[in-house]
Structure 1
Amino acid sequence: MIRRFLRDRAASAVGGGMLAGWALTLAVYRPGFAMYDTLMQYRQVLSGRFDDWHPPAMARLWQALAPFGGGQAPLFVAQVTLYWLGFALLALPLARAGRVRAALALGVIAILPPFLGWQVVVLKDAQMTAALLAAVGLIGGAGLAGRRPGGAEWLGAAALLLYAVLVRANAVFAVAPLVAMLLPLGWRWRTALALGGIAATIALSPLVNHRLLGASDSGVTRTQPIYDLAAIAVRAPGAATGLPPPVVAHIRARGCVKPYFWDPLSDSGPCGDDVAPLAHMPMARLDLLWVQAIAAHPLAYAAHRLAHLNSTDRWLVPWRWPGAAPTIRSERNDLALRSPGAIARALQRFGGYVVETPIGWPFVWIGLALAGLVALDGEAVLARALFVSALAGEASFAAVSIASDLRYHLWMMIAAAIGLAVGWPAFDRRRLCIGLALVAFACIPAIVARIALPLPPQTYAGMLDWAD
């Protein structure tokens, strides 16, 4: 009786803490930060004309929430609420089971500056993370409570997972494995379900975006082939990439193929005119050219993708590699999208310092997820599912990624952290310590790189022209 009473008190305290975290987040960070992508999407919401460069599912949700208020506030409230709800649904059963330290660890994870600092920015990455956290809370929380999820929980989770894959193009690489691992299936069925889910989502998403959600084709699907073809052309002179030698020479001279991002090759970039023939090529022909170039020059392609992977995972990069620090204020605009107050800005500045530590390095969390997965030595369905989701999602960046912003890795980092907290009793301590030691060892060259490499420009325009 006494033990049960103490567990109930602990659960009440944890629940109160989660509720306080949610309320304080809303109070301190209202109405949420609006970045450039936020502005572009809000213009579509106001005009009623959508394209698929930004997720039309998010724009439609924003449109549906308009009666609750103008600006970014409705979406901000929604994503913050789902974020804290996911943590609460996992922490409460842990506390009731006597695992108070694990429940408290989830509270610490929720307020880590690299996580919360990006979660209060109204962007598709935060929307995806919030939806996934709430879905995991519904299904995983039931498992932690020692019961099977009910029909209503599965239905709610399914809606959230569907939104997650529609709001972020490569979310399916994390979502499909997550679902497969949470279901009571054998490994063959899990693999088939994950691969089938990925294939079906890739095939059906354009139909949903264009026909069901009414978005026009913006050409966003061309960015990946253009980025890779330009890189192959620069790294393998004479390669059949659809770019003539003088154009390739100009792209090389301007340094437009950058590991950091594809933007110099965009319409408004310094080499946009050079790749215009690719941008206007029929999609089927562009995809064929892309596949043929990769097959003909695998080493050039691999070198390019590894360079980008290093950049986006922030391993051997300079100190203050751009795109990591949470934004301090909303982008200047004429749409009445305001910035949060002074306390929020101060906390975001603090987050800017924290992301320069290993806490803000995606490769560290990849290593932690891998170490946790290998060290699991018992029944830990939720932890295993989170680790697999994090690693599968990150693996997709090896082939499907064109920019290096930290926010793209938000789900992976949080999933790895939660997996470590909830899976703790099931770890083989020896294997886990070996894994943690290897992660620490990988940090050594990362620290050396941050000391030795020159400081990069801290502006978008500077990165466009920087010879990296």
Structure 2
Amino acid sequence: MNNRYFNLIGLASIIFSICSLIAFFPGAMTWDSLDQLRQARAGTYTDWQPPMMAFFWSLLLNLSDGPGAMLIFHFMLLWATSLTLFKWSIREGYRFGFLFLTLPIFPWIMNFQFTLWKDIGMAYSWGLSIAICIYFRGHKKFPVLAAALAIVLFLYGALVRSNSLSAGVFLMAFVCASIFNVNSIKSALGFMILGMMTIVLAHISVGALLTPKKANPVSYVLFDDVVALKLRGVDIPVSFLNAEEMEIIKHCEYLQVHEIGAAFCIPDEKFTAITIEHYAELKATWLTNIPQHFPTYAKFRLNAFINLIRSPSMVPYYYSEFSVKNKPFTISSGNREASAPKRLVEEYVTTSQNIIPDLFKPYTWIIISFGLVLAFYLSTNSQETSLWLLPLSGLSYMISYLPITPAADFRYAYWMCFIASLSLVIFLNIQSKKVIEHETINKL
């Protein structure tokens, strides 16, 4: 195939993506995104979700009183990433640049592409930050405006996810290495420390400026851990759970299947009371009992993590989300009836999952990411680029769920899947130059 056919594939991808955007406009939403939209409309925030996305959404509401502007923003980030890297590949003379144009329609990326989650905002803002760094790296002087935009996009992505630190330290190292055109382990370590400090200070600053109401989001994990010990025979007296409630939790089907999610086994108002009225007791109970029964706790957490990353014998879990709400976009609004184009996209993702289910399981992407770290680090074509930090960012992000796995949902692996896919396309393009050079030599 020549470049003409490659570019036709890229054009078809753009058309499919645009049609899909129209079919899902103004965006798919779940409880998380509905709650953030509610906060954006009210102008008051809680720290159950990082408040940055809700605050930014409040600004976008001036353009559209609903989720549509946020969906467009996410798509602008995604397509700016693809087009910037496509242009970079053309400039560098790479063969497979068209793959950057197909990135948005990879089924394991399209599966959550229309969902207005902070996971998506983080992935796409970081993707464009990376694309800017790759495009301008190698210039005699990195443009100031491009550097500023890359850093702003990085900070936005870091601020919309509470556990972004685990991935952000490596990504910050890549951004800085690109801007300052340095490449060494020593400089990477220094930039990682800088990234850690920057992300922590950014979260503290946003919290001080937006003053979100405390909702104690860590309660979800603490409650799971305490309940897990109690279910495994550890005698932990607490005032917020009686024997009848523990019996209900013990026979909860969701908990039996997923290892975690004890909060879903009791009424919402009950768990809300625990997070607010009994938080001090819950926290004290956790601090007292987890160290004393660490082997039991560690085994529980390991099982939960294994359930999250799935295995060849397990089916993918919650691998897509396409629920588009009716106006006025609240929990009680009901879902919009699916159109023919919307059903086509859903069928595309579902069929892909049926054909290649392992690409919808995090364990596969852990293996791919590890391989990419080694490939970039050892490749003579990319040793001077610090690109190995990109898949390492995804790996670190996924591993960070070992002590805090909230559910078995594929969404928690989205950053790893996205950056691994992006890194793989980058690697293929870089390696293609070697093939082109070899073909040129043979012709001579």
| Interval of TM-score (by shorter of Structure 1 and Structure 2) | 0.7 to 0.9
- Following the alignment from structure 1 to structure 2, what is the Cα–Cα distance between the partners of residues 236 and 195? 42
1:411 aligns with 2:415: yes
Deviations 1:410-444 (A, max 9, x none): 121011112122123777xxxxxxxxxxxxxxxxx
Contact 2:372 2:424 in 1 (8 A): yes
- Following the alignment from structure 2 to structure 1, what is the Cα–Cα distance between the partners of residues 393 and 195? 13
TM-score for the superposition, normalised by structure 1: 0.76
Contact 2:39 2:45 in 1 (8 A): yes
Change (3 A) 1:273 1:11: closer
Matches for 1:29-108 after TM superposition, within 5 Å: 29-101=24-96, 103-108=97-102
Residue 225 of structure 1 aligns with which residue? 222
Residue 367 of structure 1 aligns with which residue? 367
Pick aligned residue for 1:355 from 329, 346, 353: 353
Contact 1:113 1:354 in 2 (8 A): yes
Residue 151 of structure 2 aligns with which residue? 158
Q: How far 1:222 moved relative to its partner? A: 1.8
Could you tell me which runs of 5 or more consecutive residues in structure 1 were left unpaired when the two chains were aligned: 1-5, 428-468
- Following the alignment from structure 2 to structure 1, what is the Cα–Cα distance between the partners of residues 262 and 241? 18
Residue 127 of structure 1 aligns with which residue? 121
- Following the alignment from structure 2 to structure 1, what is the Cα–Cα distance between the partners of residues 416 and 254? 29
Q: How far 1:248 moved relative to its partner? A: 5.3
Residue 436 of structure 2 aligns with which residue? none
Q: Which amino acid aligns with 2:420?
A: A
Change (3 A) 1:405 1:217: same
Q: How far 1:117 moved relative to its partner? A: 2.9
Q: How far 1:169 moved relative to its partner? A: 1.3
Secondary structure of the residue aligned to 2:112 is helix
Higher relative contact order (CA 8 A, sep 6+): 2
Q: Which amino acid aligns with 1:372?
A: L
TM-score for the superposition, normalised by structure 2: 0.80
Residue 343 of structure 1 aligns with which residue? 341
- Following the alignment from structure 2 to structure 1, what is the Cα–Cα distance between the partners of residues 105 and 299? 37
Change (3 A) 1:55 1:278: closer
Secondary structure of the residue aligned to 1:315 is coil
Pick aligned residue for 1:295 from 291, 310, 321: 291
- Following the alignment from structure 2 to structure 1, what is the Cα–Cα distance between the partners of residues 95 and 307? 38
Could you tell me which runs of 5 or more consecutive residues in structure 2 were left unpaired when the two chains were aligned: 432-444
Contact 1:174 1:393 in 2 (8 A): yes
Residue 439 of structure 2 aligns with which residue? none
Residue 460 of structure 1 aligns with which residue? none
Contact 2:155 2:202 in 1 (8 A): no
Change (3 A) 1:124 1:263: same
- Following the alignment from structure 1 to structure 2, what is the Cα–Cα distance between the partners of residues 43 and 34? 12
Q: How far 1:370 moved relative to its partner? A: 0.3
Change (3 A) 1:81 1:226: same
- Following the alignment from structure 2 to structure 1, what is the Cα–Cα distance between the partners of residues 36 and 92? 43
- Following the alignment from structure 1 to structure 2, what is the Cα–Cα distance between the partners of residues 69 and 156? 24
Change (3 A) 1:158 1:181: closer
Residue 199 of structure 2 aligns with which residue? 201
Contact 1:256 1:270 in 2 (8 A): no
Change (3 A) 1:229 1:387: same
Secondary structure of the residue aligned to 1:226 is helix
Q: How far 1:270 moved relative to its partner? A: 5.2
Q: Which amino acid aligns with 1:215?
A: P
Identity of paired residues, percent?
A: 19
When the two structures are aligned, how many residues end up with a matched partner?
414
